[in-house]
Amino acid sequence: MSAASGAAPALKDGTPSCVPVHVGIIMDGNRRWARARGLPSALGHKAGADAVRRTVEAAAKSGIGWLTLFAFSSENWRRSEDEVRDLTGLLRFYLRHEIAALHRNKVRLRVIGERERFGPETVAAIREAEALTANNTGLNLTVALSYGSRAEIAAAARSLAQDVAAGRLDAAAVDEAMLTRRLFTLGMPDPDLIIRTSGEKRLSNFLLWQAAYAELWFTETLWPDFGATQLAEAVGSYARRERRYGAG
């Protein structure tokens, strides 16, 4: 089974590794963390950025190959203008000040989603960060920004429909693999494990197609308090599960 199917890599003795190839995280709880401390939401998001740093370092050390973080959903644009401004400002700060450390540690950064909605300054910073790290061979870090899985799937379906209408593609030839190749996640393995923080137990429009056979792990921990300990807990739970991929 290929990495794209979600299979864990083999160790030197041929036994399967207990470490998931690809982990996705729905980072939830920044605002609740701030409210519980009587702080503005902006400081909750800043603490969440610190948790990103810890988690990226822990994932790289644990042998996880791919880490995808749900940082800003397409629905987040409905939040207050002040909070969206704080979030986008923090994003630009992170891209400017953290990218050198990611590059030193051989992390490759990708961004998926409707990045154009963040404006030309942020789009340029994203492109520069992706270009700088494009040849790195360590952890593959993907950040989902202005991302919504239903819109992603709809866009892929429209692309296929346009090719059928133009005569470039036979409708009968359209299959799952063909649609998969039109998604933002082209070239990425499907997630083996999806983590959600803050006690919520839903996917919230995150990697719906790709997560068809992912294991799910939920924690009451708010995202700003997440780190190596909680990641190890999630990976430990994953290692104890038997994945059948619908075979029994």
Known binding residue 53? Answer is no
Known binding residue 243? Answer is no
Known binding residue 75? Answer is yes
d(CA 110, CA 56): 14
d(CA 190, CA 207): 9
Q: Are 136 and 108 in contact, with CB atoms under 8 Å apart?
A: yes
Hey, which residues does 15 pair with through a beta bridge?
A: none
The amino acid at 45: H
The residues assigned a catalytic role are 28, 76
Known binding residue 45? Answer is yes
Hey, which residues does 23 pair with through a beta bridge?
A: 67, 193
Known binding residue 38? Answer is no
Known binding residue 77? Answer is yes
Known binding residue 80? Answer is no
d(CA 197, CA 204): 12
Known binding residue 203? Answer is yes
d(CA 188, CA 110): 11
Please identify which residue in the block is written with the tokens 């990611």: 102
> Could you tell me which residues are annotated as the binding site for substrate?
29-33, 45, 73-75, 77, 79, 196, 202-204
Q: Residues annotated in the binding site, as ranges? A: 28-33, 45, 73-75, 77, 79, 196, 202-204, 215
Instruction: Give the residue numbers of the binding site for Mg(2+).
Output: 28, 215
